[in-house]
Structures are given as structure tokens and as C-alpha cells.
Amino acid sequence: MIEYSQSQNSNANGGEDLSFKVIGVGGSGANVLDRLALEGSDDAQLLVLNTDIRKLSSSVSSQKVQLGATLLKGMGTGGDPDLGKQAAIEAADEIREAIRGYDMVFVCVGLGGGTGSGAAPEVCRIAREEGVFLVAFTTLPFEFEGARRMEQAKDSLNEIEGYANAVVTFDNDRMGELIVPKDGVTQAFAAADKIISQSIRATMNIVSKPGIIRIGMDDLLTALNSTNSRCLFGYGQAKGDNRALDAVDQTLKCPLLDNGKLLNDARNVLIQVSGSDSMTLLEVQTVMKELTSHLKSDAHVLFGTGTDPRLGSSLSVTVISSLDGDEPEAASTPQLQREVAPVTPDPIEQSPLAAAVTAAAAAAIGEATEIAAAEREAAPVEIHVEQPAVATGETNIVQLEKEEEPAPVEVAQASPAPAPAAEVPAAPVEPQPAQPEQPAAEYSTPAIESIVQMPQFSAPEAAQEPMITNPIASAVQEAAAPVNVQQPAPAEPQQPQAPVQQVAQEESAPPIGEPHHEAPVPAAQAPERVEAQTDQAQTIALSRIVPGQTTQRILNRPPKEEQAPVAGTPKVTPMPTSEEQLEQQQDILHLEPVQSKGRFAKGDPTIIDGEDLDVPTFLRKKG
Amino acid sequence: MASSNIYAGLEIGTSKVCLVVGEVRSDGALRILGVGQHPSAGVRKGEVVDSETVQACLHDALVRAEERSDVEINTVFLSVSGAHIQGVNSRGAIRVPDGEIGPEDLDEVKKKCREVQVPSENGFIHSIIQHYYVDGQAKIVNPVGMLGQKLEADYHIIHGIKTRIQNSIKCVREVPLEVEDIVFAPVASAQVVLDRETKNRGALLLDIGGGTTDYICFVDGAVVASGSVGIGGDHITNDIALVLKVPLARAEKLKVTYGSAWLDGINPAEKVPIAGEGSETVDRLLICQIINARLNELLTLINNSLAFDNILGKTAGGVYLTGGSSLLTGLDDLVSDTFGLPVYKGGSSSMSGPSALFENPQYATPVGLIRYAQLLNEQRPRAGAISKIGRKFEKIFGLSR
């Protein structure tokens, strides 16, 4: 997987890091940004959008855009979302200009008011049109603000969910609960802003910083995927001999985790542990052990670890998840991911079996030659290769994922079917292009572009890494009835590429037909969004979208697992280092924290004014 | 109503479980019939952390108390403590509809006062009336029957985390003993340590126990501040054990034998043996410094929490010390120095029975519970708002000989 991340960088960004932009919309969005700026955000560019010129001018962000300069003349919207929307549309060009060229955009907005509720969906739409990966952090109003504002907020949230790749929702009422009622209002809001800014920062770190076990955007999506967009977020950072446990403690103390209780309900949990080079394997184990004890036994843990020299001697733990909402059937999005999640583990285990099965099926047909087998393998490889490509540059296609997600299985089917057919590396690509051509003649040009790209990826990679095939093969088996495979199989060796397409369409009508239908759907959607844009923009968007489709399917199957088998070699490298670290670490005793509390060590601490009064006063004052 | 009533007061402290049985005679005099106590385990910082162990201790104390007093105990008054308990002052105001203030108006204004903002997990333990105001006229003790349009009241409201208090009650009920009422520990202690005159002059009661230090402050006969800090004598012992690296039992002994809270007059050259005769020695001054540092911090903390409305300036009656840790040498000097007030060591007063009992500050709280029960009972027959509360206590007479 190390290779994977490298190739990702080089492909998508010419070796540069991902670039981030954080956009605060409305008053509360600006507050979060101020907080972010206050804590130093070297990674991200900050942009504030507001209708109210006074608030805008008081923001410390580096870049500001006034919404509705002519419409509202520098005043607020007075709580009217329609005005907010108009204002955003008026400033659309400026916003677009500011977003262009960034890989990932975070939009923070406090919903319920005019500017936030009205402008945020517009901003999200523009961002998506620019093809960025979009994460929205929204806060819902307090209940006491009234039903109407809540309604405005919900409407706006629905719209935003349509555009954003991921939405993290904080409930103000809940934030209120978490803060000591005695605290001043300023403190309460500052705490809320801080939580949001922390989660933005953690998200940025997770996807941008290199990792030994890397967590990518796909993991993030899985973790955040749920019908209930309320997010669980915990972050802890600690230093000292006992930093692992201290960091976990802090993480669990994060208000949105409710002392870890809420983790119990989480289905997919993303955990990132990072530290500098001094981080030991033992510490990582400790953290994971502690955290997983709060999880359901069948929870899906997306684990990542990485080193970041900037952390110095401290160790940081980030937990991201979402609460389970209604039943999975309720929304299409959760369905997809959940289905995917179980599927993922299977392929790994079954991969050998799967290969065997396919081979057996082929044998039964009597037409399975070794060549055919090789071809099949090659076919899955393509898909894998594409995944990294997607993850790298263009995480943009969230919607596509959601809509298409049922497709993973079908895609898998499709891919094996063509795969055997294709003797030449280019061949596997063909079935996919075929689909767009038929249904979506209009978009033929972009489709062709995408096709051109596809073979490039697939051909070399397939040749290099035949190993990768296993998971896909297994998936294929599960998904595709043996019949499908058989039908194309005979056709493959005999016919050249061009005929293969036709054959595939005609002969394997049932299996291939499904993928065809779905494939066009995403293509059609993509253009819809793009319509408003310039020609240039269109081509860009489309070219991204096409690989994206494949990517999404790939996303379903967690990348880790593919990597696991593939990464046999890279895996070996990190292991010895960690063991070395472990040895070095062993002479340090973790038993006692620096300040001892004796018999009070296990109880609730008595903390007043930030001092732990259970530690002897004599020792504290002397120290 | 019986001519004499017998009550039992139960304190589950960090260092001991203590059950006191007392009789209130028809003339109002209070006589202690017997005490049962047992060193406590499973209590940390005034709160029950191991219910089963506590029940075992409680059962022992109960058997002893019943033996000595020759009374079968069914219901008790339970004192509660713990750092989660806090006191706040709240003022409520209502408009009197018919121009004359009736008992129902007092209920109404009390309800208003209880609308004070407390954390959602907290429940009210006491709502203690301070004063009423009628149309701006201050410090009215009983406004019933007065004419007025606007009735205001100052209440002191003591609240704590509901579940923790319920856990204490549950623990006692499983013994089984019925809990008649719960009382915040210093409220009970104040009933016997401070007399009416002292309360009127203004006084601060400090109950320094094993796991917690509770305080209550009276000004003009009304409670103006109360609270609990999760620090007590156990912390001192723990500090000594940690600094000198000796076992807790030894540290306790060093504290009791050689400890002093006040450093003046301690000979810097004086050495004391750490672990008995002939063992390694340590400067006595060091032990005292450890104690002094801890208590100084504790008292400063309490002093700071009383630093509003100049209430310490209105407590002419001085500071009354009670609780087991108040027996520590030199504590009065330190307290006097911190608060700038005269200091008294308070035991219980004006009752008959074994004098060793009520003179010992360790028993102030459980004995105070008896007095509290008595007062509650006295108030009950009185008409008015209190009768409602009193009705709840009709079952009180479950105690029988």
C-alpha cells in the first residue's frame, strides 16, 4: 500500500500534497474558521463567505468574499434563506474562482439562519461542479430557536447532502448538554467551534499525512456513512510516558463520544493513531485495545497509523464514526456501504478459493485454458488499478457512489466477463466504453477520453501485478453466476477485440446487461451537474467522473484488503522497525504516571482550576 | 402522635459508618440512646463505590446500635456528602393575586426559586428559605397573612447528582433499612454544632472528614452558602505516604501522632522514627509541611468559594470545626489565619447521653441528623407550606421500641 499512496500522489498531483480549502459560510461558519486560524492551519486556505460586511471584516481569515454585495448592500439576510441563496448566486463566480484548483474543500456552516441555510447549498453545488472532494460540517440550531429555523436547517441540510461527499452534523442542543451549564455563553460557543475545527483538522490530517497503515478518503466515507448524519468524533493528544492511555482517555472524553458510550452503537469506526518516529508498536496496540473495548464486537474498524514529525513527543488519536440511524433500507446510501462492508472481508479469505472456483467453472466448460485464466486475472487487476487512481485525484464523485453503489456486484460481473474476452490488455477496457456509447451518445466525446485513460492505467499495472486479482476474482464469483462467466468464456479466445464487445453484449445479455444500465446512469448525472459550466469545465468533470465510476465500485471493497495481499513486500518493511522500537521502549515502565495519586489513583479525580487535587499538594507546590 | 419519638441517624462516611439512635422527649430534649459504628470500606470521597462492602459495614454498625440502644431500627435519616453536592442561592418573585399572602403563595414562590438552572442530572436535596421580601420590604421571616402585591423569596438550594444519591439510598435499602429522608451532612451537623444565637451572628461550619470537607455558612440565621470539596483526612494520609514512601497505615499513625497543621513551634531539628522505635527517622517538620500544604490549599479553596457578597465579613460568630480531621493539632491556628475569624472546635451540645459521644466532633453529623428529624417533626404540625413536606414524613413513626 505504500506503493499505492506514492502512485496516488504522483498521478494526481504530480507528487505534491493534496490542497485543502476550508470555507466558512455565514456567521457561525466564520467563527469556526477564526478558531481554526487561531490554532494555526498551515495546511489549508481559509475562505469566509458572508452577507454581513461587518462580520466579514472582523474575520481573521486570509480570504473573504462578500455575498450579495448589490442585493443586500452589506447587510445580513435577516434570517431569510432565499435571500441567502440569491446572494450566493450573485457571488458564484468569485466563489468558483476561489475553489478552483483545490482537491478537497470543507464547508462549515451553522444552519438555521439566512446566510448559512441559503448560501451553503449553493456553495456546495459550485464546489461539486468544480469537481472537488467536498466535506460539509454543519451545525443544527438550538431547539429553542424555534421550529421554523430548524425546518430551514433541515431543508438546507438535505440539499447539502445531495452535493457533499460527506456531511458531518453537529447538534447544537447536544453540544449544549456537553458543556457545564455554569460556563459562560462565550465559552460554550467557543467549545463548540473548537470541536468543529478539531474535526476539520483531524480529517485533513487523516487524508493528507503519510501513513504506515494508511487511511484514505474511502475509509472516511465508510466511517461517516449512515442514515443519521450525526457524527461521532473524538480527538486526543498526549505526551509523556503514559501517552497512549492518556490520549485514549482524552479522546473518550470528547463530548461527542460521551465517554465512549456512543461508540458502542457505531458500526463503522475509523481510528487513526499518529505520532512521531518515537511511537512504538506497543503504544499503538494499547490504544487500539482500549478503544476497541468500547466497540461492538462486530464493528468494522478502519484503522490507520502514521508518523508525523510535527507531533514531536506527543501521540494523537482520532476517532471518527457516525451513529447508526434508521434501518439500512431507509436510504440507499447506507445500503450500499453496508453491503459492501461485509463483502469486503470475504474476498480476502476466499480469494484462493475464488480463483479455484473460477478455474473449476472454466474447466467444466472445457474451454478454460491457462490463457483464459490469466486473462481473467488481468481483468480484475484493471479494476484495482483504477481504484488508486480514483482515490488519488478525484474523490469527487460521492453522489455517483451513492447512486451506483448497488453496482459493485454487477460491475464485478461485467469485468470478469469482458476480461476473458480480452486477450490484449486494452481489451478489458472495451466493455466499459461500450456501455456509455450505447445509452449516452451525447457524451460520447468525454466517454472516449475516459476510455483512452483507462487502458493506460490498466495495461501496465495489470502486467506488473497479477497478484491483485484475488479479491476481485472472489467478488466476481459471488456476484456472477457461473453461467455468465461461461458464456463469454468461449467467445473470448476466438474473437478479436471488436467482436468481443458485440459478443459480450449479445451473448451474455443477462449478466452484462445490468452493468450497462447502471453505467450510463452515472454518466448522465455527471453531465447534468456540469451543464452550467463552461466547455472546459465540462471536459474536466467528465473525465474525472468516468474513472470515478469504477472507483466507486472499488471503494466498496475496502482498499486495505486489496492492499493486504498485494502489499506482502511493503508490509515486511514497517514491521521490523516497529519491533525495534518496541525493544527500545521496553526498559521504560508504564506503570506510574509522573505525578502519583496513591490510593486515589483509580477514583474520579478531584480537579479544580485544572489542578488534580489528589496529587499531594506538597509535591505539586514543590514541583 | 407519640409523646416521645425515636430517630436513627446514619452517616456513611469515608472513614466510618456510624449509626446514632436518639430519643426526642415531649419537652424537646434530646437523649442519645446508643451508637453503632464500624470502620468503613467501599466509600471513597464520601461516596459509595462498593455497595456490597458498605452494606457489610453498615450491617455491623446496625447490629451494634440496636444492641446498645435496645431499639429495633427500621428507618433512618441518611446524611449524604460528596463533591458533586453544591449550594446555590436563588431568588424568586411572584405577584400576589388577592393582595393578601397565603400559604399557597409561599409554595408558589418556592417553586419559582427552584427553577434555578442546575445540570439536568442533578436533583434538589434541600431548599432552605432565607428570607422573604414583600413589596421590597426586606428580611421578613413569615409573610403569611401580610398584605402585599409582590412576594419575593431568597432560597438556598442544595443540589447534587441524582443517581449518586440514589445509589447511597439503594445501598441502605438493601440492608434493609428504609431511608426516611436524606440530609446534606453539614446541614445536619449545623443543627447541633451551631445554636440559634450563633447562626444569627453568622458562622461558618467546616466539617473536615475523611474523604470530603463539607461547609455551610450562616448569616443572619439563614444559610447563605454550602458545599463539599472532595478532600479530607485521607488525602493528608495519602500525601504523607507518597512523600515519605511509607505504607498508608504508617502514614496515618505519623499524621495522628506527630502531625500538625501549623508550622510555628515545630522544632526543625526534631526527628521522628518512620516505622517505630529504632527505625529510620524523618524530620517532623517535613510531615507537618506536607499536612500544612494540603490543608492550606483546602482552606484557600473554601475561602475562595465564600468570597462573594462579603459573607465572611458578616460571620461574627466565627468558624466552627468539626469532623474527624478537625482533631489535628494546629488546625485551629491555620483556619484562624486563613479566614481571619475566631475558631471553635465544635462538638454537639445540649443533650443528654454518653457525653463522649456528642462532644466528639466525629459524631456531629449523625447526632445532627437526630436533631434534624426532630425539627422536621416539630414543623410538621404547623399549618402552611411545611405541612405538605411534613405529610411525607408521616411514616416516620415506623421506629418503635
B293 with A180: Cβ contact below 8 A: no
- Single residue among A557, A577, A603 that ends a domain in this structure: A557
Q: How far apart (Å, rounded) are the C-alpha atoms in residues B322 and B317?
A: 15
Within a domain: residue B149?
yes
Tell me: the pLDDT tens digits for A464-499?
A: 444 444 444 444 444 444 444 344 444 344 444 444
Neighbours of A229 (CB within 10 A): 22
Q: Which residues of A touch B290 (CB under 8 A)?
A: 616-618
Choose the closest CB to B239 out of A177, A608, A616.
Answer: A616
Q: What is the 3-state secondary structure (H, E, C) of A279-314?
A: CCHHHHHHHHHHHHCCCCCCCEEEEEEEECHHHCCC
Lowest mean pLDDT among A99-108, B196-205, B381-390: B381-390
Q: At what angle do helices A574-585 and A281-292 cross, to 10 degrees?
A: 90
**With an 8 Å Cβ cutoff, is A596 touching chain B?**
yes
Asked whether residue B58 is assigned to any structural domain, the reply reads no
Residue showing cell 514543590: A622
**pLDDT value at residue A472:** 45
CA–CA distances in Å: residue A283 to residues A235, A272, A286, A311, A585: 16, 13, 5, 15, 10
Do the domain assignments include residue A56? yes
Q: Where would I find the H helices in A43-165?
A: 53-58, 69-72, 81-90, 92-99, 114-129, 147-163
pLDDT at B100: 86
Q: Is residue B185 included in any domain, yes or no?
A: no
ipTM of the complex: 0.71
pLDDT for A405: 40
Could you tell me if A604 lies within 8 Å of chain B, comparing CB atoms? yes
Domain that holds residue B217: 196-348
Q: How confident is the model at residue A72 (pLDDT cuts 50, 70, 90)?
A: confident
Q: Which residues contact A522 (CB under 8 A, 6 or more apart)?
A: A397, A400, A403, A404, A545, A548, A549
Distance between A179 CA and the closest CA of chain B, angstroms: 10
What is the CATH number for B152? 3.30.1490
| Residue of chain B whose Cα is closest to the Cα of A179 | B119
pLDDT tens-digit profile of A205-258? 777 776 777 777 777 777 776 655 566 777 888 887 778 888 888 787 776 666
Q: Could you check whether the bond before residue A431 is cis, i.e. omega within 30 degrees of 0?
A: no
Q: Is the same domain home to A419 and A524?
A: yes
Helix residue ranges, H only, A480-519: 482-486, 488-494, 497-507, 509-518
From A164, A182, A208, give the residue that closes a domain: A208
Q: Is the predicted pLDDT of residue B30 greater than 70, yes or no?
A: yes
Beta strand spans in B96-233 (E): 122-134, 137-140, 150-161, 178-184, 203-208, 213-219, 222-229
* Angle of CA points B127, B128, B134, to nearest 5°: 110
A547 shares its domain with A599: no
Last residue of a domain, one of A208, A228, A245: A208
Q: What's the confidence (pLDDT) of residue A397?
A: 39
Would the CB atoms of B119 and A181 count as touching at under 8 Å? Answer: yes
Q: Name the residue of chain A whose CA is nearest to B296's CA.
A: A617
Q: Which chain B residue has its CA at the smallest distance from A621's CA?
A: B293
- Dihedral over Cα of B327, B332, B338, B339: its sign: positive
Q: Which of A596, A597, A617 sits opposite B293 (nearest CB)?
A: A617
Phi then psi dihedrals of residue A62, to 5 deg: -75, -30
Q: Is B290 exposed, middle or buried (0-12, 13-18, 19+ CB in 10 A)?
A: buried
User: Among all chains, which residue has been given the C-alpha cell 429555523?
Assistant: A149
CA dihedral defined by A595, A598, A600, A603, rounded to 10 degrees? 80
Q: Is residue B107 situated within a structural domain?
A: yes
Burial class (CB in 10 A: 0-12, 13-18, 19+), A411: buried
Separation of alpha carbons A521 and A528, rounded Å: 11
- Which among B83, B230, B239 is the nearest to A617, CB-wise? B239
* Min Cα separation B373/chain A (Å): 32
Across A123-208, the runs of DSSP E, i.e. the strands, are: 133-140, 166-171
Specify whether A46 is located in the same domain as A133. yes
Task: Please write down the long-range contacts of A325-334, taking CB distance under 8 Å and 24 or more positions apart.
Answer: A325/A226, A325/A227, A325/A228, A325/A229, A325/A230, A326/A227, A326/A228, A328/A227, A330/A227, A331/A227, A332/A402, A332/A403, A332/A405, A332/A406, A333/A225, A333/A227, A333/A402, A333/A405, A334/A225, A334/A226, A334/A227
pLDDT of A42? 64
Q: Does residue B172 form part of some domain?
A: no
Q: How far is A153 from chain B (nearest CA, A)?
A: 26
Decide if A25 contacts A406 (C-beta within 8 A): no
B217 within a domain of the structure (yes/no): yes
Domain residues for A603? 592-623
Q: Which residues are B262's β-sheet partners?
A: none
Q: Which helix H or strand E contains B43, and what residues bound it?
A: strand B43-44
pLDDT per position as a tens digit, A25-37: 888 888 888 888 8
Of the residues B116, B234, B243, B283, the best mutation for testing chain A's interface (the one with the most A CB atoms within 10 Å of its CB) is B243
Three-state DSSP class for residue B208: strand
B335 shares a domain with B232: yes
Asked whether the beta carbons of residue A600 and residue B118 sit closer than 8 angstroms, the reply is no
Is residue A441 assigned to a domain? Answer: yes
Higher pLDDT, A615 or A611: A615
Please check the confidence at residue A151 and state whether its pLDDT lies above 60.
yes
Higher pLDDT, B210 or A368: B210
Q: Is residue A250 part of a domain?
A: no
Return d(Cα B45, Cα B230) in angstroms, integer.
6
How far is the alpha carbon of B61 from chain A, nearest alpha carbon, in Å? Answer: 25
Binary contact (A604, B290; C-beta < 8 A): no
Chain B CB within 8 Å of residue A575 CB: no
Task: Report residue A595's pLDDT band, with 50, 70 and 90 as the boundaries.
Answer: low
pLDDT value of position A138: 86
Confidence of residue A182 (pLDDT cuts 50, 70, 90): low
Q: What is the DSSP string of B258-298?
A: H-BS--TT--TT-EEESSSTTS-EEEHHHHHHHHHHHHHHH
| Distance, CA of A193 to CA of A196 (rounded, Å) | 5
Q: CB B297 to CB A613 under 8 A?
A: yes
Facing A181 at nearest CB: one of B49, B117, B241: B117
Are A471 and A613 within one domain?
no
Facing A617 at nearest CB: one of B119, B120, B294: B294
- Which element (helix H / strand E) includes A538? helix A535-556
Tally of domains in chain A: 3
Task: Tell me which of B348, B370, B396 is where a domain ends.
Answer: B348
Confidence of residue B183 (pLDDT cuts 50, 70, 90): very high
Contact of B89 with B154, CB cutoff 8 Å: yes
CB–CB of A599 and B234 under 8 A? yes
Same domain, A456 and A506: yes
Same domain, A464 and A604: no
Give the integer Cα–Cα distance in Å for B256 and B236.
10
- A231 contacts A139 by C-beta, under 8 angstroms: no
CB contact under 8 A, B44 and A603: yes
Q: How many CB atoms lie within 10 A of CB A304?
A: 22
Whether residue A393 contacts residue A12, with contact meaning beta carbons closer than 8 Å, is answered with yes
